[in-house]
Amino acid sequence: METILITTAVVTGFTGILAVLLTLADRTIANYGEKKLVINDDKEYIVNGGRSLLSTLIEQKIFIPSACGGKGTCGYCKVKVLEGGGQVLPTELPWLTEEELKNNIRLSCQCKVKEDMKIYIPEELFNVREYEATVELIEDMTPVIKKVRIRLKEEDEIEFKPGQYIQLKIPVYDGNEEEDYRAYSIASSPKAKDFIDLYIGYTGGPATTYVHKFLNVGDTVYINGPYGDFYYRDNRDKEMILVAVGTGIAPILSILHYMAEHEIDRKVTFYFGARTPEDLFEMDLIKYFEEKIPRFKFIPTLSRVTEEHNWTGARGRVNVHLEKDIENADNKEAYLCGSPAMIDTVVEILKKKGFTDENIFYDKF
């Protein structure tokens, strides 16, 4: 017993010393002092060095897209670093093409501000803003997906294109020690400028745990946006192929809202992949779109149905039906939203049918 107590004391003491050393290192070695950050040659900021470029920009209320919350796993937060920034890190390489590397493109979540820097970002990002809002509704859509309606303050409005997304600020809570941001597609109509609807599936991560376990109606939340190059193109002479799985339905619904409200008459086929009938949601809304959009067809396809489900609709993954149903790319364009694996598979099928990068739009999450 005495040996165990001595060992425990030694380990505890060593751990305490290590914690103190790490704290001192953070305050000294990682303390780079004040640095000058110049953006687009005409905006100058004095910032504290040592943090990621993404975090530094957020402190200045300049919001860069970051679907993964700055973890280096989405590749969205790209900026052009003209001066400073140091060497490109191994964590950035999987997300940067040879052309981007030649043009000094970096992941802002991985690039640290250790010296004076000059960067370039698209001017439209200066129009992205943060909104304080209130949670108006939380509703279970499936056993793992919640619908969250966020109401802006009375004086606020948000302008977005159907298909775009916002970032939700994830606060510190029991089990989450630092603030973070996560990207979620807007499901509601662009016409409703005073609120947005989100669909958030539970994955067990800090963001979805916050939404599913801690968030309540009446809570104050902070969002910023809008972002994204995935949005509706008004090419009315082209047939639309829509593909989504799970919460990927969100931007597709926003696009359909827009089409219904503007009485857009295009041939539209929407393939929605799920596992079982209980994973299908917003079917009343889908029926509304079937009534309002003359040539709209909805094809839900389920991959894990059994005889007990009494399912008479399409079975299997969406790619199986796309392979069978689509003959060619003539006068068509596709909008895809879902997991990287699903989108990569669907893109490969569409390209075999003759689709090109110019008529395939997608949002991976």
Q: What is the pLDDT along the chain (365 residues), one digit of tens a residue?
A: 444 434 444 433 444 454 344 334 444 445 679 999 999 999 999 999 999 999 999 999 999 988 787 888 888 899 999 999 999 999 999 999 999 999 999 999 999 999 999 999 998 898 899 999 999 999 999 999 999 999 999 999 999 999 999 999 999 999 898 888 999 999 999 999 999 999 999 999 999 999 999 999 999 999 999 999 999 999 999 999 999 999 999 999 999 999 999 999 999 999 999 999 999 999 999 999 999 999 999 999 999 998 899 999 999 999 999 999 999 999 999 999 999 999 999 999 999 999 999 999 999 88
**Whether residues 152 and 119 fall in one domain:** no
Q: Is 262 left (phi over 0), alpha (psi -120 to 50) or beta?
A: alpha
Q: Where does a domain end: 168, 200, 227?
A: 227
What interhelical angle do 318-325 and 340-352 show, nearest 10?
A: 10
The CATH number of residue 159's host domain is 2.40.30.10
Q: With contact defined as beta carbons under 8 Å apart, do 121 and 64 qualify?
A: yes
In degrees, to the nearest 5, what angle opens at C-alpha 297 toward C-alphas 293 and 299?
145
CATH number assigned to the domain comprising residue 89:
3.10.20.30
The reported pLDDT for the residue numbered 74 is 86
Tell me the β-bridge partners of 167. Answer: 183, 224
Q: State the residue for tokens 């007990």.
A: 308
pLDDT at 27: 43
Residue written as token pair 């400028």: 193
How confident is the model at residue 67, as a pLDDT?
Answer: 78
Count of structural domains, the chain: 3
Residues constituting the chain: 365
Give pTM, 2 decimals: 0.85
Residue 2 lies in a domain: no
Examine the domain organization and report whether 103 and 147 are in the same domain: no
As a whole number of angstroms, the distance between CA 324 and CA 189 comes to 32
Q: Which of 81, 98, 125 is at the close of a domain?
A: 125
Whether residue 284 is found in the same domain as residue 251? yes
Regarding whether 356 and 246 lie in a shared domain, the answer is yes
Give pLDDT, residue 12. Answer: 39
Residue 88 lies in a domain: yes
Based on the fold, state whether residues 246 and 339 are members of the same structural domain: yes
CA distance 272 to 299: 6
Check whether residue 244 and residue 356 sit in a common domain.
yes
80 and 135 part of one domain: no
Phi, psi (rounded to 5 degrees) for 35: -130, 155
What pLDDT score was predicted for residue 31? 66
Kindly state whether residue 25 falls inside one of the protein's structural domains. Answer: no
Q: Are residues 220 and 321 in the same domain?
A: no
* CA nearest neighbour of 224 among 39, 73, 69, 365: 69
How big is the CA angle at 289 (ends 286 and 294), to the nearest 5 degrees?
135
Last residue of some domain: 227, 253, 287?
Answer: 227
**169 and 116 within one domain:** no
Q: Phi and psi for 123 in degrees, rounded to 5? A: -60, -30
CATH number assigned to the domain comprising residue 265: 3.40.50.80
pLDDT of residue 4: 43
For residue 314, the model assigns a pLDDT of: 92
**One domain, residues 80 and 111:** yes
Look at strands 145-152 and 129-140 and give their pairing: antiparallel
pLDDT of residue 358: 95
Would you give the end-to-end CA distance of the chain in angstroms? 52
Residues 113 and 203 in one domain: no
Query: Is the distance from CB of 88 to CB of 127 less than 8 angstroms?
Result: no
Q: What local confidence, expressed as pLDDT, does residue 146 receive? A: 98
Q: What is the 3 state secondary structure string of the chain? A: CHHHHHHHHHHHHHHHHHHHHHHHHHHCCCCCCEEEEEECCCEEEEEECCCEHHHHHHHCCCCCCCCCCCCCCCCCCEEEEEECCCCCCCCCHHHCCHHHHHCCEEECCCCECCCCEEEECCHHHHHCEEEEEEEEEEEECCCCEEEEEEEECCCCCCCCCCCCEEEEEECCECCECCCEEEEEECCCCCCCCCEEEEEEECCCCHHHHHHHHHCCCCCEEEEEEEECCCCCCCCCCCEEEEEEEHHHHHHHHHHHHHHHHCCCCCCEEEEEEECCHHHCCCHHHHHHHHHHCCCEEEEEEECCCCHHHCCCCEECCHHHHHHHHCCCCCCEEEEEEECHHHHHHHHHHHHHCCCCHHHEEEEEC
Domain residues for the domain of 172 are 128-227
Q: What is the pLDDT of residue 26?
A: 45
pLDDT value at position 213? 96
